Structure 1
């Protein structure tokens, strides 16, 4: 095993990474400006998947010599186009929207956990309490509602008596 090769192989690889990386980044920014704010909105699980896939694709373009810039740009454009089409069809068809979008789930209400909902959504009480703490609370008894949103975040509304 060549330990030196783990740290440096040649200047050609570094120059390629700098040039292709800069061009791929500019390409991604340009595509995102063209496609609009919705592309990175993370409003639902599909949006989150596209965002992660864009990052992964950019990484592959920059680091894998077997991926040419034109191929990578095509992959980025394809992901953005797919996200655009799904969002467009979702706006036009309730059935399509229901198929690709998850609905928010109530995890706690009026100071008590909704056990069935938490089980269905695979959220533990420790995870829920952590979300409560991250938004300034201490326990579920302070919570009016705890909602697992479509994008995977947890929203907390506190009972009026608990508000400081």
Structure 2
């Protein structure tokens, strides 16, 4: 029972850390971040099972994490008012070609992050972005305006390349 309680406490703590850490932080893990996560995983397992390195302790810890994850997913599905608390909310970070600086600061992302994601989608100019949404998984969704601006000879002052 002790392992079950410690597993739930660690699960809640890690869930909170990921939620507070920001969507883009989770989506943009570097090689160093992955090594750090593996190390944290080992430290967390030591905190959960303490001196008990038995197969039973490992199964209880993994089962507790799995059931806690399934429970959160079920809550999000069956009780929609809880969904924003569990999964987060999508946020509009660019509207009509203008970055929403307050939202960028709140989500701890930079305009360069948006430029990079836009280039990956083949979008060359900020003014073509009608909406840019930071999704709950840390990815960006772009909704663009028509390409007629490129044909009218407008200056390239908002190029993001």
Contact 1:109 1:145 in 2 (8 A): yes
Q: What does residue 155 of structure 1 align with?
A: 141
Q: TM-score, normalised by structure 2?
A: 0.56
* Residues 58-88 of structure 1: CA deviation (Å, up to 9, x unaligned): x74xxx9x74443323222211100111111
Structure number, greater radius of gyration? 1
Contact 1:142 1:162 in 2 (8 A): no
Q: Displacement, 1:155?
A: 1.4
Q: What does residue 81 of structure 2 align with?
A: 95
Q: Secondary structure at the match of 1:146?
A: strand
* Residues 125-147 of structure 1: CA deviation (Å, up to 9, x unaligned): 11111111111112312212111
Runs of 5+ unmatched residues, structure 1: 1-43
Aligned length: 114
What is the Cα-based RMSD across aligned positions, in Å? 3.7
Q: Is 1:71 the equivalent of 2:57?
A: yes
Q: Name the structure, 1 or 2, with higher relative contact order (CA <8 Å, separation 6+).
A: 2
Q: What does residue 12 of structure 2 align with?
A: none
- Seen in structure 2, the aligned counterparts of structure 1 residues 115 and 159 have a Cα distance that, compared at 3 Å, is same
Q: Displacement, 1:121?
A: 1.4
Q: What does residue 116 of structure 2 align with?
A: 130
- Seen in structure 2, the aligned counterparts of structure 1 residues 138 and 91 have a Cα distance that, compared at 3 Å, is same
Structure 1 segments, 4+ long, off by >6 Å, are none
Runs of 5+ unmatched residues, structure 2: 1-17, 27-33, 47-51, 151-161
Q: TM-score, normalised by structure 1?
A: 0.55
